[in-house]
Amino acid sequence: MAAGRRAWAEVDLGAIRHNASLLSDLVAPARLCAVVKASGYGHGSVAVARAALEGGASWLAVALVEEGAVLRRHDIEGPVLLLSEPPVDAMDDVVALRLTPTLYTEQGVEAAAKAVASAGAPPLSVHVKVDTGMHRVGASPDGALAVVQAVAGLPELTFGGLWTHFAVADEPDHPFTGEQCDRFEAVIERVVAMGLRPPLAHACNSAGALASPAARHDMVRCGIALYGVAPSPALAAVQPALVQDGHGLRPALSLRAKVSYVRRVAAGEAVSYGLRRPLERAATVATVPVGYADGVPWRLGVCGGEVLIGGRRRPLAGSVTMDQILVDCGDDDGVVPGDEVVLLGRQGDEQITAWDWATLVGTIAYEVLCGIGPRVPKVYV
């Protein structure tokens, strides 16, 4: 495995299947939509999509038409939801690829209907998005009713679902999620009163699915939880049984590399750009061929980042560079080129998580995962 590779992301598809199955059971009878946008949060969208479907997901979701095209190109059938309204000039592709667009503007509805008509395709199922307070995309509650009505009036389109998105579901005590739920339910009631019950109503992301059972409706859209990572430290604290590794969700990705070079550096010398931190004692310094171009945040080098070698935590010895990092192995003269380095994941009894990095550098685990660059080969196990 990984022969000749100096750095790679190991993706445990068994963990993805397990997480999909755990989430499906948790939210049943609601369905699970596996969110595989952004190359499956850095895990590879195609392999993740297949594993999630095997684990019990019945829908997939992506952000871009291009991302949906990748799934179809790999013979992934079944419903694929586009999480934003596609650009008007992408509607022909949406129809050809049989993706399910989210719509919330008059132009979007018109363009979708026109694309279906010009392709001579069967009616296209579409979902309507209502903005209940996040104010990113979606029609206002009144606007959503008009969009639903427009969709229902066109023979080219089928009203397949109504949905919204939460702004603060990862803060379990925040009252705004309840407010958004109430607004969403009010819209559903008005749509039902028009005689147009949505076949699928959905609102929850991972955080909502885990923490707000009453908001699961007919489907939940899980990304981060599918990858075995908690949506927030706050949620991990209130749901330890679900989000802790070994009990519930299992992290699927680990970032690994091999030591490429080792040398002894004298006390008082410093390493890497900036020569920031002279060594207090002579140390074995290992070079590892993975850097910020691969998704290792530059800031890790200046805020206490660590890696695992030989089952032990070892501090970075200087700045993260584009292609390489330097690791302070202290007095350990047993570290040699070829030794496995774990940047994210487990080695022996030690573990470094995406949230560990995120907390150190001041971001969220989502950005850490999506930051793992295309230069890092994925090895599926």
Ligand X SMILES: *Cc1c(COP(=O)(O)O)cnc(C)c1O
Nearest Cα to Cα of residue 289 among 322, 324, 338: 324
- Give dist(CA 82, CA 94) in Å, integer: 9
Pick between residue 30 and residue 271 the one whose CB is nearest to ligand X: 30
Pairing mode, strands 219-222 and 201-204: parallel
231 counts as binding ligand X under rule CB under 6 A: yes
CB of 298 to ligand X, least distance (A): 25
The stretch among 64-72, 149-157, 175-183, 199-207 that binds ligand X (CB under 6 A) is: 199-207
228 counts as binding ligand X under rule CB under 6 A: no
Nearest Cα to Cα of residue 308 among 279, 288, 331, 281: 288
206 counts as binding ligand X under rule CB under 6 A: yes
Nearest Cα to Cα of residue 257 among 345, 196, 333: 345
Nearest Cα to Cα of residue 129 among 112, 144, 150, 109: 144
Q: How many residues bind ligand X (CB under 6 A)?
A: 13
Binders in 50-109 for ligand X, by CB under 6 A: 83
CB of 163 to ligand X, least distance (A): 8
- Would you call 129 a catalytic residue per the annotation? no
Using N-to-C axis directions, what is the helix angle for 141-152 and 106-119, rounded to 10°?
A: 20
Cβ-count burial 17-32 (b if 16+ within 10 Å, e if not) = bbbbbbbbebbeebbb
Report which residue type is found at 261.
Answer: Y
- Would you call 114 a catalytic residue per the annotation? no
319 counts as binding ligand X under rule CB under 6 A: no
C-alpha distances in angstroms, 29 versus 25, 56, 186, 187, 265? 8, 12, 22, 22, 60
Quick one: which of 26, 30, 48, 224 contacts ligand X (CB under 6 A)?
224
Quick one: which of 20, 23, 51, 222 contacts ligand X (CB under 6 A)?
222
Pick between residue 83 and residue 113 the one whose CB is nearest to ligand X: 83
The stretch among 18-26, 205-213, 244-252, 305-313 that binds ligand X (CB under 6 A) is: 205-213
Indicate which residue of 114, 273, 378, 380 is catalytic. 273
Q: Which residues bind ligand X (CB under 6 A)?
A: 35, 37, 83, 165, 205-207, 221-225, 231
Residues designated catalytic: 37, 273
